[in-house]
Amino acid sequence: MSSQDIPEENLPAEQDHAHGAVGIADEENPFADPGLPPHEHRIQDVDERAARRSERMVALLFTVSMLATIAFIVAYLVIPNDKSIFVFPIGHLSAMNFTLGITLGVALFCIGAGAVHWARTLMSDVEVADDRHPIEASPEVRAKVHADFREGAKESALGRRKLIRNTMFGALALVPLSGVMLLGGLGPAPGTKLRHTMWTKGKRLVNMNTNEPLRPEDVAVGSLTFAMPDGLEEHDEEFQTEIAKAALMIVRLQPDNIKDKRELDWSHQGIVAFSKICTHVGCPISLYEQQTHHVLCPCHQSTFDLSDGARVIFGPAGHALPQLRIGVDSEGYLQALGDFEEPVGPAFWERG
Amino acid sequence: MSTSENETSRSRGKAPAGERIADWADGRLGIYSLAKANMRKIFPDHWSFMLGEVCMYSFIIIILTGVYLTLFFHPSMNEVEYHGSYVPLQGQLMSEAFSSTLHISFDVRGGLLIRQIHHWAALIFLAGMFVHMMRVFFTGAFRKPREINWLFGFLLFVLGMFTGFTGYSLPDDLLSGTGVRFMEGAILSVPIIGTYLSFFLFGGEFPGHDFVARFYSIHILLLPGIMLGLMVAHLILVFYHKHTQFAGPGKSEKNVVGMPLLPVYMAKAGGFFFLVFGVIAAIAAVAQINPIWAMGPYRPDQVSTGAQPDWYMGFAEGLIRFMPGWEINFWGHTLVLGVFIPLVLFPLVLAVIAVYPFIESWVTGDKREHHILDRPRNAPTRTAFGVAWVTIYMITLVGGGNDLWATHFHLSINAVTWFVRIFFFAGPVIAFILTKRICLGLQRRDHDKVLHGRETGIIKRLPHGEFIEVHEPLSQEQLHTLTAHHQYEPAEIGPTVDENGVERKVPASEKLRAKLSNAYYGEDSQIPKPTVEEYKEITSGHGHH
């Protein structure tokens, strides 16, 4: 095997003349490779009693594995699904999950430990050297392959008959387009869907917790209320998609504290309604700091100042939260005075 | 034919059953030629060579448990009212995906265990790949002829991330749904086609009714199918190239020293599968993971605090958290740089490490095969580059958990974010400089050890009163091991005049290469290893030092 010709430039050891010479330690080169160190015997190699101890150990591990599998089967059959047990120091756990997991874990681990112990103590640990052969083909093989390829290419006449070649490339380039077209069925075009929500003029604001329409007096100073449009029901087919755009955040501020003029105009008695969907990547904003009127998105920590047009004061969001213009209807309920004037949620190319 | 004669003569004897089956198979599959090359194949031993095995075994565990989970999981977003055995969610509206995951967790006996093994194995798979990749990187195992296998491994890591992401999004719980929303927001930021991509992925507006079913086929078929193919190719190449080894007595670029596959590695590697599986099963028994019942079903208008992706996505999460919210509006369009830049940085940072082997081989111009591993210290620039890359990764990971750092260490979230913003740039530079210095220091130590021997800690007083520490000369094995590495000469720009004396235009790429080569192998970047002459001068002169 080692007699096989190896192109010398492929074998770096050849480059390093100082240490390339594998072999016997010599006076000339104290750094030369002394060759594989002699094999050191393990206790199991020289003492049969130690070897038998190892054998018993391996057998014990395999036996423990068998017992653990039996325990697994028993546990699977007898432990009730909802039983919980206390395991120190972890706490209360599902008895079933804990027992099955531990018995399965022990059964598997002991097989592994047995096999590894067997390999380490009883199988030969004599290190052997195997030759490497260069990955590259020999020059003759290389020449043969190139010649064969040229021959084949010539016989195909692909290079000569340009018309065949060009039309074939054309056909092969076009045919994947059918596949691309078929992907068209994956979704409708966006159209203007991202620009509209369920909010329209006259739509009442419904408290998300109580499912009752909101009156101004229901909104206390310092509290954060979540609202959705009247007529949206949890059982609706498109509830998730609609609430993903229409969710509202309502707070009452002192009108004097509102710094932004448009925000004041669009509020009702200091009650302001903003989109709950973060303008960064669309998480629902849920943390309100009543002293500062800041809201914080828990996902990426964008912070908005609700007393100043909900502008971004920290974090990765790129623009203010859209505000919904609100008023009260003839029965004294809070209502929208139109849809949001700009798209809610994360920014996108057509947003403008 | 001689082969058929052989066959008849073989079958006439009373060979044992195993042998006869093997003969039968060989006549049809040619297994003997395969076995001849591989049955007694030599594998070198080193603890770090197990890291790749951890990945392979956890991948097998994921497939086994994943198949089991598909028997019970319903990849559907139809809203149903829950009437299972988990009382707190009774009567609540949820998708079938979520309710079937509850069913697996509470009503299928052992279902929760398999779910937890599946999820833990996925985390370990990704962590294993990361560490394995670093092992390969820092020891230079990616050099010729293994560059393509490095790319296969890299692809496995990237695909593993996406398989993990699509997997933990399937239960349609509040936490994972938030992650999917984040992904949708990120896709929307792509200029020109972002909204279309999003609508085509979700079958309309977010969340729609399709993404669980679509993610399901991606998660259980498309990505794992590709990964299985890549992993098989990865392994075939490991066998074909034969494993790398560290320098040492008797080890050279021409051989591979170790123990044979049959029986030692069959037992060790086979046993290791059971060890990995056993440990993961035990973890799944005691450590809860992804308790979707505590989070509840997904609602796009609800969220929990401390929302975190699985660890391997923390890097993407960090990029998006510390990026300032830049947005450019022009001609009725919005360029959402605040989201799009992180989206581009994410593959870019990963790609840097993927293409590194090609950059290094271009700088060295080395076309030889390399089977002896480098000690990281002996390739200071590479090691420093790798540590700088890991630093970026880790800083960004800190950024991905900035809220947790803030709450756990009582820091301001703004301060943590600003720290990440600054150290995303400064961190790798500092890490690079420090690592290089440490490597050079270690090289100097090796240099001294070779020339002056090992410090024994014994102080000796000489007759004239001088105190010296006794140094013990190294054995030849150690001397060889410490001096076996190759040191490159920095490349120089070739002659600027050609053979006719005409001035030659030096291409910019050649200048750059010479510059990089100097940075890699110049005076400040490696300590010349001791020469035989130096060694002889010192050892013959004083005997001791």
* Confidence check: pLDDT of B10 > 70: no
Strands A326-328, A323-324: pairing is: unpaired
Task: Please answer yes or no on whether A31 and B278 come within 8 Å at the CB atom.
Answer: no
Question: What is the CB-side half-sphere exposure of residue B498 using CA atoms within 13 A?
Answer: 6
* Confidence check: pLDDT of B434 > 80: yes
B241 to chain A: closest CA residue: A135
Task: Please answer yes or no on whether A282 and B196 come within 8 Å at the CB atom.
Answer: no
Whether B26 and B147 map to the same domain: the answer is: no
- Residue B242 included in any domain: yes
B110 → closest Cβ in A35, A76, A108: A76
Give residue A239's Cα distance to chain centre: 27
pLDDT digits (tens, 9 = 90+) for B330-379: 998 999 999 999 999 999 999 999 999 999 999 999 999 999 999 999 99
Give the A window 215-234 contacts with B, CB below 8 Å: 226, 228, 234
Whether B172 and B202 map to the same domain: the answer is: yes
Q: What is d(CA A191, CA B521) in angstroms, rounded to the nearest whole number?
A: 58
- Residue B383 included in any domain: no
The answer to whether B381 and B436 are in contact (CB under 8 A) is: yes
Task: Please answer yes or no on whether A131 and B206 come within 8 Å at the CB atom.
Answer: no
- Averaged pLDDT score across all residues of chain B: 92
The answer to whether A63 and A57 are in contact (CB under 8 A) is: no
Whether B177 and B65 map to the same domain: the answer is: yes
Q: What is d(CA A7, CA B413) in angstroms, rounded to the nearest whole number?
A: 61
A234 to chain B: closest CA residue: B93
Give residue A202's Cα distance to chain centre: 43
B287 to chain A: closest CA residue: A90
- Residue B314 included in any domain: no
The CA distance from A293 to the nearest CA of chain B, in Å, is 17
Whether B115 and B33 map to the same domain: the answer is: no
Q: Does A342 touch chain B (CB under 8 A)?
A: no
**Range B513-537 average pLDDT:** 90
Task: Please answer yes or no on whether A318 and B325 come within 8 Å at the CB atom.
Answer: yes
Task: Please answer yes or no on whether A135 and B241 come within 8 Å at the CB atom.
Answer: yes
Q: What is d(CA A95, CA A84) in angstroms, rounded to the nearest whole number?
A: 5
A281 → closest Cβ in B285, B339, B413: B339
Q: What is d(CA B441, CA B289) in angstroms, rounded to the nearest whole number?
A: 43
What is the structure's pLDDT at A2? 40
Whether B28 and B47 map to the same domain: the answer is: no
What is the structure's pLDDT at B3? 47
What is the structure's pLDDT at A8? 46
Whether B244 and B185 map to the same domain: the answer is: yes
A115 → closest Cβ in B113, B145, B270: B270
- Averaged pLDDT score across all residues of chain A: 89
What is the structure's pLDDT at B12? 55
Residue B279 maps to which CATH number?
Answer: 1.20.810.10
Task: Please answer yes or no on whether B320 and A97 come within 8 Å at the CB atom.
Answer: no
Task: Please answer yes or no on whether B336 and A234 come within 8 Å at the CB atom.
Answer: no
Whether B153 and B83 map to the same domain: the answer is: yes
- Residue B160 included in any domain: yes
What is the structure's pLDDT at B20? 94
- Test mutation, B108, B254, B330, B474, chain A, max A CBs within 10 A: B254
Whether B31 and B62 map to the same domain: the answer is: no
B483 → closest Cβ in A19, A188, A284: A19
A81 by Cβ neighbours in 10 Å (0-12 / 13-18 / 19+) ranks as middle
pLDDT digits (tens, 9 = 90+) for A42-93: 999 999 999 999 999 999 999 999 999 999 999 999 999 889 999 888 889 9
Task: Please answer yes or no on whether B188 and A126 come within 8 Å at the CB atom.
Answer: no
Q: Does A127 touch chain B (CB under 8 A)?
A: yes
What is the structure's pLDDT at B507? 85
- Residue B525 included in any domain: no
- Residue B301 included in any domain: yes
**Range B78-88 average pLDDT:** 94
Q: Does A41 touch chain B (CB under 8 A)?
A: no
Name every residue whose Cβ is closer than 8 Å to that of residue A74 and which is 6 or more positions away in sequence.
Answer: none
Whether B151 and B6 map to the same domain: the answer is: no
Q: Does A270 touch chain B (CB under 8 A)?
A: no
> Is residue A136 very low, low, confident or very high in pLDDT (cuts 50, 70, 90)?
very high
- Residue B225 included in any domain: yes
Least Cα distance to A245 among A298, A192, A290 occurs for A192
Global model pTM greater than 0.80 = yes
pLDDT digits (tens, 9 = 90+) for A242-300: 999 999 999 999 888 899 999 999 999 999 999 999 999 999 998 898 889 999 998 99
A30 → closest Cβ in B184, B336, B476: B476
Query: In A, which residues are within 8 Å of B208 by CB distance?
Result: 240-241
pLDDT digits (tens, 9 = 90+) for B162-219: 999 999 999 999 999 999 999 999 999 999 999 999 999 999 999 999 999 999 999 9
Domain edge (last residue) among B274, B290, B309: B309
Question: What is the CB-side half-sphere exposure of residue B107 using CA atoms within 13 A?
Answer: 13
* Confidence check: pLDDT of A26 > 80: no
Domain that holds residue B115: 42-248+256-309
